[in-house]
Amino acid sequence: MSDQNEKLKQLKTSSMDRRLSIAKASLLAGTRWAASSASSIFSSEEEKEKKRKQAMKEQANYLVQEIGKLKGSIVKIGQMMALYGEHFLPEEITQALNTLNNQTVALAWPAIKQQLVSQLGSKLNDLTIDHEPIGTASLAQVHRATRKSDGLELVLKIQYPGVADAIDSDMSLFKNMLKLTRMVPQTREFDQWFDEVREMMHREVNYEVEAATTRRFAQRLKEDPRYGVPQIIDDYCTNQVLCMTFERGVPINSPVMLSLPQERRNLLGEASLEIAVRELFEWGEMQTDPNFGNYLVRLGNGEDIKDKIILLDFGAIRQFDNQLLKVACNLIKAGYHHDAEAMVNAMSGYEFFDAMPLSIKPDMAKVFLLATEAFSTPLNNPDLPAGVMDQHNRYDWKKSQLHSRVMQRASKSMASRYFSVPPKEFMFISRKFIGAYTFMTVIEAKTNVRKMITPFL
């Protein structure tokens, strides 16, 4: 963790402070942008494009630096834009926004203690709290604690004071910033997407909802030894502090994961995807942030004690309506049978698909067929690349390079020119599956996902 000198003493939460910083940054970026466009009037097309990309990269990095100094919801908005923006933001912007994660500076202990005193009062005396955070994010930071009476190990997620109240003004700020810099097309879809991010932000700071969701998932998974969910400790929860049991485990991308035998990695990979499938087919709600920091693996002993995936964060939860779930189910079913005609037919009953010209659907179906390749079998899918699936229908995630192949196919597809911003629900579902796919790729799992999904179809 960074040393005390680097920590923020306090947050710039007044909307005036924030507005000035961002307005200054955006205007500067906007004028630099205009200047770079003017300077390339007499250049060749190729040269112009090169200059344009370079200028955009510089603007985006500059803006991101300024945002990073503010903390709070504006940073989280930037992170969400990076996560989902690859479909409709210029690559230079998403790359710059992606660095926001690494720029989160912790808030110093005196300011955090003040927040804890205001939230928990005398109950604070029950706990011994580590002054160094074990995690910092844009809206909160996490500190370990021990209950003095029985030594129970806890974590406290402490929301920064004032961030919840700043969300709406930060959203307008961010939107104006993108308008001022003229880097993003302002369309109806873009406005809808912004409203969705606003809603997600408000859900993210609602700790009562997060506590209830954590309990719900713990209840659903309590009989399944492959998963662990922290237990919420009500005594120390308020609307700005969330308290739960401390859960041990190793990060997914820890080198120790790759030293596990192949079979154990395969089982962990299956379990990671099964959650996404059950969320979609059984529970109708999804944890939509498949960031690796939200999972740990508690290693077993390779015999009677099984490896366990610890699910940590239930702040970004999204409910889906039955019609959408039915459409998603039909798309996966068409992928399971690797049936192009069924895939085209599955693209209906949902506004986005119903508005799409028929001529585009076959092209779009190819993208979906590729994305669901792992659900098919060599017997019904002649397009499976050699060696990515064995005779037991186990799919080799690392070898398949599925995500980059899907992205390539999607960008070549006619459909990519037809819509700039895909429907938000599809972004969440595809992001969740990409998260599970990446999980399996990182631990080099080979999984028979076909067998796992069969009962749901």
Q: What is the CATH number of the domain that holds 228?
A: 3.30.200.20
Q: Is residue 185 part of a domain?
A: no
In this structure, what are the phi and psi dihedrals at residue 345, rounded to the nearest 5 degrees? Answer: -65, -30
Give the CA distances from residue 73 to residues 46, 98, 170, 203, 433, in Å, rounded to whole numbers and listed in that order: 38, 15, 7, 12, 26
Q: Is residue 306 part of a domain?
A: yes
d(CA 256, CA 203) in angstroms, rounded, equals 35
Q: Quick one: pLDDT at residue 364?
A: 87
Q: Is residue 10 part of a domain?
A: no
Q: Is residue 186 part of a domain?
A: no
Q: Quick one: pLDDT at residue 39?
A: 54
One domain for residues 153 and 220:
yes
Q: Quick one: pLDDT at residue 38?
A: 57
Number of domains into which the chain is organized: 3
Show pLDDT as tens, one digit a residue, over the chain (457 residues).
444 446 766 655 555 555 555 555 555 555 554 555 555 555 566 776 677 677 667 767 776 766 666 666 777 777 777 776 666 677 777 777 777 765 567 888 999 999 999 999 999 999 999 999 998 877 899 999 999 999 999 999 999 988 888 888 888 877 777 776 666 666 777 787 788 888 888 988 999 999 999 999 999 999 999 999 999 999 999 999 999 999 999 998 899 999 999 999 999 999 998 998 899 889 989 888 777 778 899 999 878 889 999 999 888 888 888 888 889 889 999 999 999 999 999 999 888 888 888 888 898 899 899 999 999 999 999 999 999 999 899 999 999 998 888 878 877 776 566 655 667 777 778 778 888 888 889 899 999 989 988 998 8
Q: Is residue 261 part of a domain?
A: yes
One domain for residues 210 and 138:
yes
Domain assignment of residue 72, given as a range: 15-33+45-101+167-180
One domain for residues 24 and 71:
yes
One domain for residues 270 and 321:
yes
Beta bridge partners of 156: 143, 243
Contacts of 218 (CB under 8 A, 6+ apart): 229, 230, 231
Give the CA distances from residue 195 to residues 167, 199, 298, 350, 389, in Å, rounded to whole numbers and listed in that order: 12, 6, 38, 20, 41
One domain for residues 257 and 402:
yes
One domain for residues 172 and 52:
yes
Q: 3-state class of 285 per DSSP? A: strand
Give the CA distances from residue 270 to residues 73, 160, 263, 309, in Å, rounded to whole numbers and listed in that order: 34, 37, 11, 11
Beta bridge partners of 297: 250, 309
One domain for residues 276 and 416:
yes
Element (H, E) at 296: strand 295-298
One domain for residues 276 and 139:
no
d(CA 366, CA 340) in angstroms, rounded, equals 7
Q: Are strands 227-228 and 153-159 parallel, antiparallel or unpaired?
A: unpaired
One domain for residues 63 and 142:
no
Give the CA distances from residue 293 to residues 13, 39, 75, 253, 439, in Å, rounded to whole numbers and listed in that order: 26, 44, 17, 10, 11
Q: Quick one: pLDDT at residue 2?
A: 42
- Cβ atoms of 70 and 19 within 8 Å: the answer is no
- Cβ atoms of 290 and 434 within 8 Å: the answer is yes
Structure token digits, residue 119: 């939230």
Residue 180's closest CA among 340, 42, 305, 59?
59
One domain for residues 366 and 386:
yes
- Cβ atoms of 72 and 174 within 8 Å: the answer is no
Q: Is residue 323 part of a domain?
A: yes
Q: Is residue 85 part of a domain?
A: yes
Beta bridge partners of 328: none
Residue 120's closest CA among 259, 281, 241?
241
d(CA 142, CA 158) in angstroms, rounded, equals 6
In this structure, what are the phi and psi dihedrals at residue 186, rounded to the nearest 5 degrees? Answer: -90, 105
One domain for residues 252 and 153:
no
Residue 228's closest CA among 250, 248, 204?
248
End-to-end Cα spacing for the chain: 47
Q: Is residue 9 part of a domain?
A: no
